[in-house]
Amino acid sequence: MPVPFPPAGHIEDSPRRIRVFFKGHYIVDTKKAKLVWEHSFYPQYYFAKADVPEKYLQAKTSNTSAGSSEIHDVVVGNNRAEEGATVFKDGNLKGLVKIVFGKMDAWFEEEEQIFVHPKDPYKRVDILHSARNIRVEVEGVEVANTTRALLLYETGLPVRTYLPKTEARLDLLKDSELTTACPYKGVAQYYDIVLPSGKILKDIVWWYRAPLPDCGQIKGYVAFYDEKVDVWVDGEKVERPKTQFG
């Protein structure tokens, strides 16, 4: 059954004070931001044009692929974020400005810094201790076995199982250079698995050295991509999920 998230195109007011920081200046400071769902997965912040001082926007080119809009660089002194903003001139987004989240130095909701993208107000994350026996194999090699897992439930995504590092085959885990970021959990580091045969499975395990406070329980635990490994729960093999979002 589909999860009833807001559909693409949904727009609603945000009750939070939003500030956008770039090169020593708050280029936006407003209590009237809009949450706009460009797709159904999560929203972005958009702002009334009056809340983004014109001195920080420099028109660059026209873009009519999504209606009437204009691409701008965000400029503070000699500092420039190329194509950092879009000003919309027609349709449901008329009069709004989108600032590219990753091109700014920091974003704040009230006094709290946010990362990656705004959280979806219709999603939540719950973490539960589990005494089930969870066993993970990769190509017939057992790489983890525990009865002390944490189950992370994130609305609309597969349940993720986090296992104590001490109950995983650390001798088979090799540090990867990959990192990813999540607005709910923080910055994840990754491991490759190096099997006794010498075969390497890249970026198949992740963990959080310093998770965000709401997910602090998973600190130091490891999670395996269930889509890429074999998992048994209380002796019963689990069908691999089809999605690959962690």
Percentage of the residues of the chain whose pLDDT score is greater than 70: 93
Mean pLDDT computed over 115-121: 94
Matching CATH topology for 11-114 and 125-237? yes
**pLDDT for residue 26 is more than 90:** yes
Smallest CA-to-CA distance from 194 within 117, 138, 155, 236 is with 138
Provide the pLDDT for residue 1: 44
Tell me which of 2.40.50.140, 3.40.50.150, 3.40.50.1220, 2.170.150.40 is the CATH number of domain 11-114. Answer: 2.170.150.40
The pLDDT value recorded for residue 242 is: 66
Looking at residue 240, what is its pLDDT? 79
Q: Which two tokens stand for residue 205?
A: 């395990």
Provide the CATH topology of domain 125-237.
2.170.150
Sequence ranges of the domains in the chain: 11-114, 125-237
Confidence band for 207, pLDDT divided at 50, 70 and 90: very high
**0.75 exceeded by the pTM?**
yes
Can you tell me the mean pLDDT for 105-129? 95
33-77 pLDDT, tens digit per residue, is 999 999 988 999 999 999 999 999 999 765 444 558 899 999 999
Average pLDDT score, the chain: 92
Q: At CA 30, angle to CA 25 and CA 35, rounded to 5?
A: 115
